[in-house]
């Protein structure tokens, strides 16, 4: 068993990590860290009245005394690698914090956005770009780190559509433009997060920074590594409109897609999606969904409440594939934003890194 | 005062008509009609436990005995023209019913979708195509009707974006493609309509028939009349994705628009929208919004709860105009679906027809 | 394995039965019945677009051809006993239907309210009145039934508070008056059930018939059998106010309770609740919650979303025990209305009846 | 016109005051004050992105520069009296702040809870205890204040039932016990207030401090002044359970009431409620509801969405009066918590004080 630490353990994503890691076959939580104001008391006490998961706090974690996140040394003793679920507003501070962990010899598997555009840090969705982890070698070399490194996952909003898009591109159909409108769950904003006054009889057509991330992050994920540098995908353009809706968990995306040259038929698309498996499935990673893309035939699916938990919240549910009068095809995608789109995605990243040898005891 | 009858008076749209017409300077409700099962009792009794408006039933309507909708003769005696808010599933029956009223000498201003694609029936948004009413002359001639006729309004979903689009086209900027994703209120489905089990912690990415209407109806509205026939706008293509969200009233649309040739600047667009007035404003129709397009500068607007009632629910609220990486610009539009998008829109149509002389005592 | 039939299999409660019985150690669903309009096709097809459970339809049930509920003979061949989840408005018809099954030799474990006040039919909450099943002997004798019989469960609203009340009475503290205000989930009204227009930014302070059931059914459950007849509890009076709130699953009850003579301390009450186990626990029935009453210490619990699924939805969660200025103590109770309060409660009843020998292969 | 200042002008209640006072016949807002962090800029700027009212900021207030609340001198110059909508957690600080205004010669009409139990401060619901204002004379004398004084209003939760209770007591029916369960709107917690994660598919059976206020404040309001001191009503006991539900505005109360001696019939109660008018109606105060108690005959009313705005949000809507098996009668009451229960109630208090001569130019 690898010993796992969680930085930002008291926030929503940190809680989800702790909840999902219960019973994990490879990982066991041995250290939790948070800001100074939450540190110094048992975990159970530090989240009193703030624990948002349906399941109770796992017994092994209840009594872990919360360390201060800046106490890297103590964390380095207590675990083999860390998940970073840090939610500090100052990105530079997050960057430095994560770097200090890596420098101390700890692999950092991060959900934070701070390092997503750092030139030597891979941004991973294992079904799409598992090979991007090789940038870690360059990163270590450049930084002079022997064991530690930083790998990140992208924003939760893009999980609902990017794997289906990748599946088609990987099959030789060059999608070159996407129009995406998301309807995003409130858990994406943490707790307390979105005010109930804004979500009763209302939606909010704006989430700060979300559209930019949705338009740009896919370009790195779909890109390639050449000469130890990321080359962004320059053959696809994305426009995004991001909305907050009164749903607890599950981001929905309405997507129109256009093909550069060869355009598949509806049947070909369905066949590709239904047959799609990738590295996590082939490596049989513990958290990998058996069916990463689930196509639902009903007219009115996917729906957040009914479909977000498919494959333990790790699948992308897709439906309503039909021709688009302006682009070529349109469809609706859905994923669980705090599982696939956050902690579950981070755990899958860590599993990949273990299997590839980047993380070990 | 013109005497008004309402067919389908007990449904949601019928109720909204009755509520909005209270205190109207030109129109007074003198007859209400519904299906046989609701007829024969005072209106108040026929909607007992089903009255959905916030305001109580207007006194003058409470005691009107509900007539059977097929009793055209009785209705013809009791009123000068009718609003049709009929909700029967069989479109052919609706068509025939409305035709029987017109044949009996009653102008029919309809919300029903049955006659929207009838070749000699105009589909009106007075700010956009007030001149389409001239098709009524051809209709009367062809049908042999002297006083009666049929005019309809389009689907509620397109009100949230089509007037802003028209304003730009009218100013010489040829928008030729639109990608629209709507988030629509439950009142659009009537009462009881959408089940609460579908709208608690959920959205539904499907509304039967709605996307087709949203893609096609604008082509007739933006079209022209040539040789007594409608020529659809062939210079614009629309793709729509329509979703049901937990909002009582107010349809929101996320829109991306592309221009064929000349592309305006953001400032030019804002200037055009803010200056836009049209026929209803110039004719000072009683229900015309003074400002038909309200642009909101805040990042997170328009929102259904906060903006649907602007200008008594007759304005289109617009916000978030910004460049679009795939098309040229994107924005968010909002309108009140049972006022501007239904009964209020019908009343504005009737006011236009009065001013143009098509309806008179 | 006992072969189980479900009458009313296509409704909400029927669906929940089918979902909960998947993998049951004693019971396997071998027949499903519904009204004529749903019969004659595979179950999967009969609930197309109406399946409301999060989990998919169990494979073994998907292809069962739905029988017509009045076809008792076919059902009698296909199963050893039936769960009745019939939702017909005509109670007399339900009574006769259930009687026809019993007369055909099938034990009927019913959720319907029709037979709750039939003099020889026990109304069971196994933690409270497992001994009431002995009325079945009298029932069989009186009716001339050899193998078949009818046993029912009470209304979903009383599950949220009656077991905690019983626990105290069983410990010798004579609660003689209760004031109960419930906040009930929409799933209690089936699907489509409550309109979303009534549940967005609203509550409804009325559920037809619910208050009467909440006030009266406990008197039979807490009563005794004397000379083969039920004697209602005459030492307790209940007043109930029942409200519908925008919650999918989980009925909450705010309860004030008064004691006739001896009044326990707060600590004594907590001790009794925490130690409480009863017949289902002692018999180790498969669906029995290990802890039938879960007391939560947090100020703001129980909450429907966080606590309804405790013990697979079979526990009653209780919190906020405090002194009451008018009665003696007050507390908040919560149970899952379609599991503990409906199908799960029915399954527990059937398990008890198996263990007691009333149901066998 | 009297010049009005609002302390705590940027919070939810402050905003509601500003919105309601637009067009008031006696009062005009001439000064707004808030904490140091909001002060020094025009009001419009200080609430940018936080303005929660549906109506826009009144023109006369948009450009008022927000003063610092502790700058009593500046406020005293700018207005004739103040509404206090201060939301500071430290009650002692609120007490002192309000006292400093009174000492500076300004009448303080307060929504804050700080002074509700101060022995010489009246807690007013004008329909119930308009005569309690005479305590102001004692207050001024004791404190040595010539023009300034403090008068407060009670908690929003008790408005939904106390006037109907008072009406019956005033008619000679001695209600001596009440069991009240409230279902309270989220606006009562201000903005951002209650997290949406707590209000989607959920209710919370706890509001800090609310039950204590609901049980105790009525005793002062229903009490009497003897020898310049309040004597609490000792002939009535109240138990309260307070819940937060997903409703924007409108607190609902389920009430059971018992009578000490003489018990009226249902018809007598209805007659008393329907005929009830009191001091505000007799004085024709501008904000007084013509019908302070509106009884609704429908089974399923009052409902927050449909009834909260009756009489401009100043009425109490009541329904479902029926016999109670434990007490004598039970009913459901509803009032708008931020109008009748907060700013509107405060304005009515001020109007009473003007009419009684306690406030003048």
Instruction: Give the model's pLDDT for residue D74.
Output: 97
Q: pLDDT per residue over B208-225, tens digit each?
A: 999 999 999 999 999 999
Q: pLDDT per residue over A232-250, tens digit each?
A: 999 999 999 999 999 999 9
Which of B15, B53, B54, B299 to mutate: most D Cβ within 10 Å? B54
Neighbours of chain B (3+ CB pairs under 8 A): A, C, D
- C chain contacts of residue B52, beta-carbon cutoff 8 Å: 197
From the candidates A156, A166, A242, A336, give the one annotated as an active-site residue: A156
Residues from A contacting C (CB-CB < 8 Å) are: 49, 54, 200-201, 248, 298-300, 305-306, 309
CB–CB contact B243 A177 (8 Å): no
* CB contacts < 8 A (B, C): 54
Q: Is the pLDDT of residue B52 over 90?
A: no
CB–CB contact A196 D198 (8 Å): yes
Average pLDDT over residues B23-31: 98
From the candidates C79, C156, C166, C336, give the one annotated as an active-site residue: C156
How many angstroms separate the first and last alpha carbons of chain D?
A: 8
CA distance A175 to chain B (A): 13
Confidence band, pLDDT 50/70/90 cuts, at residue A89: confident
Average pLDDT over residues C240-268: 97
CB–CB contact D303 C202 (8 Å): yes
R_g of chain B, CA atoms, integer Å: 20
Average pLDDT over residues A9-22: 96
* Distance (Å, whole) CA D96 – CA B19: 50
CB–CB contact C202 D247 (8 Å): yes
CB–CB contact D196 A246 (8 Å): yes
Report in angstroms the alpha-carbon separations of B253 from A37, A241, B298, B326.
43, 10, 17, 18
CB–CB contact A303 B241 (8 Å): no
Q: pLDDT per residue over C261-280, tens digit each?
A: 999 999 999 999 999 999 99
Please provide the average confidence, as pLDDT, over all residues in chain C: 97
Average pLDDT over residues A210-234: 97
Which of B200, B248, B311 to mutate: most D Cβ within 10 Å? B200
From the candidates B115, B156, B166, B242, give the one annotated as an active-site residue: B156
Cα pseudo-dihedral C83, C86, C92, C93, rounded to 10: -100
- D chain contacts of residue B248, beta-carbon cutoff 8 Å: 305
Confidence band, pLDDT 50/70/90 cuts, at residue B88: confident
- D chain contacts of residue C181, beta-carbon cutoff 8 Å: 181, 241, 254
Q: Let me know if B24 is a catalytic residue.
A: no
Nearest to D306 among B54, B201, B300 (CB): B54
Output the pTM of the full model: 0.96
CA distance A266 to chain C (A): 23
Please provide the average confidence, as pLDDT, over all residues in chain D: 97
Q: pLDDT per residue over D92-140, tens digit each?
A: 999 999 999 999 999 999 999 999 999 999 999 999 999 999 999 999 9
Average pLDDT over residues A104-117: 97
Give this complex's ipTM: 0.95
Phi, psi for residue A121 in degrees, rounded to 5: -110, 125
**Which residues, 6+ apart, have CB-to-CB distance to D133 below 8 Å?**
D122, D124, D151, D352, D353, D356, D358
Nearest to B246 among C186, C194, C200 (CB): C200
Phi, psi for residue C222 in degrees, rounded to 5: -85, -5
Confidence band, pLDDT 50/70/90 cuts, at residue A137: very high
Instruction: Give the model's pLDDT for residue A29.
Output: 98
CA distance C201 to chain A (A): 6
Q: Beta-carbon neighbour count of residue C80 at 10 Å?
A: 21
Residues from A contacting D (CB-CB < 8 Å) are: 52, 186-187, 191-201, 246-248
Nearest to C204 among D202, D256, D300 (CB): D300
* Distance (Å, whole) CA C25 – CA C23: 6
Q: Is the pLDDT of residue B49 over 90?
A: no
Confidence band, pLDDT 50/70/90 cuts, at residue A158: very high
Nearest to C200 among B52, B186, B195 (CB): B186
- A chain contacts of residue B302, beta-carbon cutoff 8 Å: 205
CB A242 within 8 A of CB A214: yes
CA distance B26 to chain C (A): 31
- In chain D, the largest separation of any two C-alpha atoms, in whole Å, equals 60
Say what angle helices C91-103 and C135-143 make with each other, to 10 degrees: 80
- C chain contacts of residue B200, beta-carbon cutoff 8 Å: 186, 199, 246-248
- C chain contacts of residue D320, beta-carbon cutoff 8 Å: 205-206
Confidence band, pLDDT 50/70/90 cuts, at residue A54: confident
Residues from D contacting B (CB-CB < 8 Å) are: 49, 54, 200-201, 248, 298-300, 305-306, 309
Confidence band, pLDDT 50/70/90 cuts, at residue A52: confident
Nearest to A201 among C200, C299, C300 (CB): C200
Say how many residues make up chain C.
Answer: 361
CB–CB contact A196 D201 (8 Å): no
H helix or E strand, kind and range, residue A289: none
Phi, psi for residue A334 in degrees, rounded to 5: -150, 140
Domain annotation for chain B: domains and CATH numbers: 2-156+342-355 (3.40.50.720), 157-335 (3.30.360.10)
Give the residue on B whose Cα is nearest the Cα of D248: B305
Q: Let me know if B79 is a catalytic residue.
A: no
- D chain contacts of residue A194, beta-carbon cutoff 8 Å: 195-197
Instruction: Give the model's pLDDT for residue C170.
Output: 97
Nearest to A325 among B237, B300, B330 (CB): B237
CB–CB contact C237 D320 (8 Å): no
CB C296 within 8 A of CB C304: no
Say what angle helices A210-221 and A162-170 make with each other, to 10 degrees: 30
CB–CB contact D303 C252 (8 Å): no
The token duo for D159 is 């408005």
Please provide the average confidence, as pLDDT, over all residues in chain A: 97
Q: pLDDT per residue over D146-173, tens digit each?
A: 999 999 999 999 999 999 999 999 999 9
- B chain contacts of residue D201, beta-carbon cutoff 8 Å: 200-201
Cα pseudo-dihedral C7, C8, C13, C17, rounded to 10: 40
Average pLDDT over residues A203-208: 98
- Helix/strand/coil (H/E/C) assignment for every residue in chain D: CEEEEEECCCCHHHHHHHHHCCCCCCEEEEEEEECHHHCCCEHHHHCCCCCCCCCCCCHHHHCCECEECCCHHHHHHHCCEEEECCCCCCHHHHHHHHHHHHHCCCEEEECCCCCCCCCCCCECCHHHHHHHHHHHHHHHHHHCCCCCEEEECCCHHHCCCHHHHHHHHHCCCCEEEEEEEEEECHHHHCCCCCEHHHHCCCCECCCCCHHHHHHHHHHHHCCEEECCEEECCCCCEEEEEEEECCCCCCEEEEEEEEECCCCCCHHHHHHHHHHCCCHHHHCCCCCCCCCCEEEECCCCCCCHHHHCCHHHHCCEEEEEEEECCCCCEEEEEEECCCHHHHHHHHHHHHHHHHHCCCCCC
Average pLDDT over residues D270-289: 98
Confidence band, pLDDT 50/70/90 cuts, at residue C73: very high
CB D335 within 8 A of CB D308: yes
CA distance A298 to chain C (A): 8
Q: Which is it for strands B251-259 and B329-335: parallel, antiparallel or unpaired?
A: antiparallel
Q: Is the pLDDT of residue C54 over 90?
A: no
**Which residues, 6+ apart, have CB-to-CB distance to A40 below 8 Å?**
A65, A66, A68
How many angstroms separate the first and last alpha carbons of chain A?
A: 8
Give the residue on D whose Cα is nearest the Cα of B305: D54
CB B178 within 8 A of CB B234: no
Percentage of chain D lying above the pLDDT 70 cut: 100
CA distance C307 to chain B (A): 16
Among D58, D342, D57, residue whose Cα is nearest residue D187:
D342
Instruction: Give the model's pLDDT for residue D355.
Output: 98
CA distance C111 to chain B (A): 21
Instruction: Give the model's pLDDT for residue D202.
Output: 98
Instruction: Give the model's pLDDT for residue C310.
Output: 96
CB–CB contact B193 C194 (8 Å): no
Report in angstroms the alpha-carbon separations of B57 from D163, D302, D304.
27, 16, 18
CA distance C174 to chain D (A): 16
The residue written with tokens 């100043």 in the block is D314
CB–CB contact D324 C177 (8 Å): no
From the candidates D79, D132, D156, D242, give the one annotated as an active-site residue: D156
CB–CB contact C248 B201 (8 Å): yes
Cα angle for residues C138, C141, C144 (degrees, 5° grid): 140
């Amino acid at each position: 068993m690898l010993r796992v630490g969680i930085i930002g353990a008291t926030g929503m994503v940190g809680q989800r990590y702790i909840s999902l890691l219960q019973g994990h076959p490879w990982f066991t939580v041995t250290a939790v860290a948070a800001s100074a104001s939450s540190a110094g008391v048992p975990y159970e006490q530090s989240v009193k009245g703030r624990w948002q998961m349906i399941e109770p706090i796992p017994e092994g974690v209840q009594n872990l005394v919360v360390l201060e996140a800046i106490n890297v040394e103590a964390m380095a003793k207590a675990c083999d690698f860390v998940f970073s679920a840090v939610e500090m507003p100052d990105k530079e501070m997050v960057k430095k914090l994560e770097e200090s962990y890596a420098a101390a010899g700890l692999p950092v598997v991060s959900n934070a956005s701070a390092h997503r555009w750092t030139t030597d840090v891979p941004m991973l969705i294992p079904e799409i770009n598992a090979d991007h982890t090789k940038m870690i070698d360059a990163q270590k070399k450049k930084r002079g780190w022997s064991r530690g490194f930083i790998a990140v996952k992208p924003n939760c909003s893009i999980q609902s559509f990017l794997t289906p898009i990748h599946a088609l591109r990987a099959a030789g159909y060059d999608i070159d433009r996407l129009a995406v409108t998301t309807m995003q769950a409130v858990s994406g904003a943490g707790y307390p997060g979105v005010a109930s006054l804004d979500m009763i009889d209302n939606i909010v057509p704006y989430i700060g920074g979300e559209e930019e991330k949705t338009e740009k992050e896919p370009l790195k994920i779909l890109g390639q590594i050449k000469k130890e540098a990321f080359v962004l995908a320059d053959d696809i353009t994305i426009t995004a409109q991001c909305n907050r809706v009164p749903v607890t968990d599950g981001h929905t995306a309405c997507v129109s897609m256009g093909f550069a040259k060869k355009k598949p038929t509806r049947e070909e698309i369905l066949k590709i999606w239904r047959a799609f498996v990738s590295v996590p499935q082939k490596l049989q990673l513990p958290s990998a969904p058996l069916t990463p893309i689930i196509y639902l035939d009903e007219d009115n699916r996917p729906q957040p409440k009914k479909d977000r938990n498919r494959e333990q919240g790790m699948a992308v549910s897709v439906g309503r594939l039909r021709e688009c009068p302006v682009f070529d095809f349109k469809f609706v995608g859905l994923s669980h934003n705090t599982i696939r789109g956050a902690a579950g995605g981070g755990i899958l990243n860590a599993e990949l890194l273990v299997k590839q040898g980047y993380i070990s005891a």
